[in-house]
Amino acid sequence: MKQKNFTIRLYNTLTKRKEPLHPRTEKVLHMYVCGLTPYDSMHIGHARTFTIFDAFRRFLEHLGWTVIHVQNWTDIDDKIIQRANEKGCSSSELAEDYIAEAMTDWQNLGLCPPHIMPRVTDHIPEIIQSIGELINGGYAYQADGDVYFSVARYQNEFGDYGDLSGQNLEEIQAGARVEPGEHKRNPIDFALWKRAKEGEPFWDSPWGRGRPGWHIECSVMSLKYLGHPIDLHGAAVELTFPHHENEKAQSQALVRVQPVVRHWMHCGVLNVAGDKMSKSLGNIIPLSEALKKSGPNDLRLLFLSTHYRSPLNYTDDLMAGARASVRRLSEALTQVLQVPSQPTKEEDTTSSKKSISLFQLGHQSTDLFYQALADDFNTAEALGYVFRMVGGILTTLALEREGLSPRQKEALLFLFGKIKSCLTVLGFDVDQMVTPPVIQDEMAQDLMTLLIELRQKLRAEKLFSLADWIRSSLGEKGIILEDGPEGTRWRRK
């Protein structure tokens, strides 16, 4: 698979079209993804966004690309300061705590760590230097300890402000506001440097004590680690304006390359039962909370079963559906693992034909799988092809109860390999799907085994009411027993 040469087409927010992904060096993608502002726990909306970029990265890597993945921590900002004040700790303590927590969540979700995760507070000198350059270039001005970016001045020279978010200057102008205490020449100008108020954390700068504005950190850090033009810049759509529009203007003013980002990839937001997650609605679902009920595979399936640009409306039913889908995958894969030890029957014309069509199913579905991903990363369609292979396996196994021919066995194992490979490309943990559940506590594990054996003995004695009582009692504890031909297995509900 590594030698496959696909043209990868991806919707570009800047041009509003699907375009071939053209990195500046062939098969090397410089990818910057806007990361978290660590002022609170990571929630499932973040998880969706990061899962999408994680899967996209794995897809490219699987095709033999090198992806240089940079994702920042915006570890100083107004929300962090406010939160730290509420909690009575310092901004950096607060940020570090949430960064540590997010890294754990990140791992639990099964995400590849980005190669570089720069913190804003580690880049203050670079940021100050860049702001200085913008002032020298005439793109920025000081006002009472603040430094603002002059959109009008930028627009004069580059003429593309508003292109990314699809707005013209008048429209932006109409909506622009000036906060009390700001000294902008023009309401659409935005802060590069904010003067520190009483009690706020600060860094010394040529313009006095303060901290970076919201957008400059991404310009500075993306350029520092990725150079330019940056091949792909990603985040959720809601960052398109103002964040990315402003970031793009600053970066272009800094390096005078247009476009400084070749491809903007934005994914849709996640809503909860129709509403945007917000503190006032109290409907924020922390990732750690979601991971208590569902495994990383379940969440990943949920996120990838909708096209990345569509909004995703999270509900418990939908989550349960995703969990059931993963169970179907596990079921099929687990069953194939038992194929080698199943009785073999003689090869004949029929079994040979059947195995050929299974091989075809595998080849064709895998092909379509990659094509779907190459066409604007359509994971929803791609997963459909995986499930076609799953159907092929389960149907064959159900139909050939009395035995499989050698070639049929081969074909099933071939499908297993294809499914595993496809799922791995998207970042699923296939090993976890085929691993029976374990109990960490050894004693508890022994008791469980004992209970199952006891129940088997009761069933052998036809003491079904007792056996059923054990099963339903365990059911109340969230443990489901399944009696199959190979014995009884258990799983968590």
Partner RNA sequence: GGCGCCGUAACCGAGAGGCACAGGUGCGGGAUUGCAAAUCCCGAUACCCGGGUUCGAAUCCCGGCGGCGCCUCCA
- Chain positions 245 to 264 lying near RNA, rule: CB under 7 A, are none
Q: Which stretch binds RNA (CB under 7 A): 250-258, 414-422, 428-436, 482-490?
A: 482-490
Beta carbon nearer to RNA, 440 or 478: 478
210-249 residues in contact with RNA (CB under 7 A) are 214, 235-243
Q: Parallel, antiparallel, or unpaired: how do β-strands 230-236 and 66-71 relate?
A: unpaired
Cα separation, 366 vs 419, whole angstroms: 8
Distances (CA, A) of 389 to 66, 90, 352, 365, 415: 29, 54, 18, 7, 7
Question: Does 453 engage in binding with RNA (CB under 7 A)?
Answer: no
Q: How far is the CB of 40 from RNA (least distance, A)?
A: 8
**Spatial CA neighbour of 71 closest among 37, 117, 112, 107:** 117
Quote the tokens at residue 343: 């009785």
Question: Does 16 engage in binding with RNA (CB under 7 A)?
Answer: yes
Task: Look up tokens 């860049």; give the residue.
Answer: 130
Beta carbon nearer to RNA, 64 or 311: 311
Distances (CA, A) of 171 to 137, 166, 178: 26, 10, 16
Question: Does 201 engage in binding with RNA (CB under 7 A)?
Answer: no
CB 85 within 8 A of CB 268: no
Q: State whether residue 223 is helix, strand or coil.
A: helix
Question: Does 177 engage in binding with RNA (CB under 7 A)?
Answer: yes
Cα separation, 132 vs 114, whole angstroms: 30
The DSSP symbol for 241 reads I
Strand order in the sheet with 146-149: 140-143, 146-149, 190-195, 210-212
Question: Does 116 engage in binding with RNA (CB under 7 A)?
Answer: no
Q: Which residues of 243-257 are buried (b: 16+ CB within 10 A; e: fewer)?
A: bbbbbbbbbbbbbee
Query: In the set 291, 320, 439, 479, which binds RNA (CB under 7 A)?
Result: 320
Q: Which stretch binds RNA (CB under 7 A): 59-67, 84-92, 127-135, 460-468?
A: 460-468
Task: Look up tokens 């702001």; give the residue.
Answer: 131
Q: How far is the CB of 295 from RNA (least distance, A)?
A: 15
Query: In the set 328, 371, 439, 479, which binds RNA (CB under 7 A)?
Result: 328
Q: Parallel, antiparallel, or unpaired: how do β-strands 487-492 and 479-484 relate?
A: antiparallel
Q: How far is the CB of 347 from RNA (least distance, A)?
A: 22
Q: State whether residue 19 is helix, strand or coil.
A: strand
Q: Count the neighbouring beta carbons within 10 Å of the beta carbon of residue 35.
A: 24
134-163 residues in contact with RNA (CB under 7 A) are 151
Question: Does 480 engage in binding with RNA (CB under 7 A)?
Answer: yes
Question: Does 324 engage in binding with RNA (CB under 7 A)?
Answer: yes
Beta carbon nearer to RNA, 24 or 101: 101
Question: Does 187 engage in binding with RNA (CB under 7 A)?
Answer: yes
Cα separation, 275 vs 64, whole angstroms: 40
Question: Does 172 engage in binding with RNA (CB under 7 A)?
Answer: yes
371-410 residues in contact with RNA (CB under 7 A) are 372, 375-376, 378, 380-381, 383-384, 387-388, 390-391, 394-395, 397-399
Q: Which stretch binds RNA (CB under 7 A): 29-37, 54-62, 129-137, 224-232?
A: 29-37
Beta carbon nearer to RNA, 122 or 482: 482
Question: Does 114 engage in binding with RNA (CB under 7 A)?
Answer: no
Question: Does 37 engage in binding with RNA (CB under 7 A)?
Answer: yes
Beta carbon nearer to RNA, 217 or 231: 217
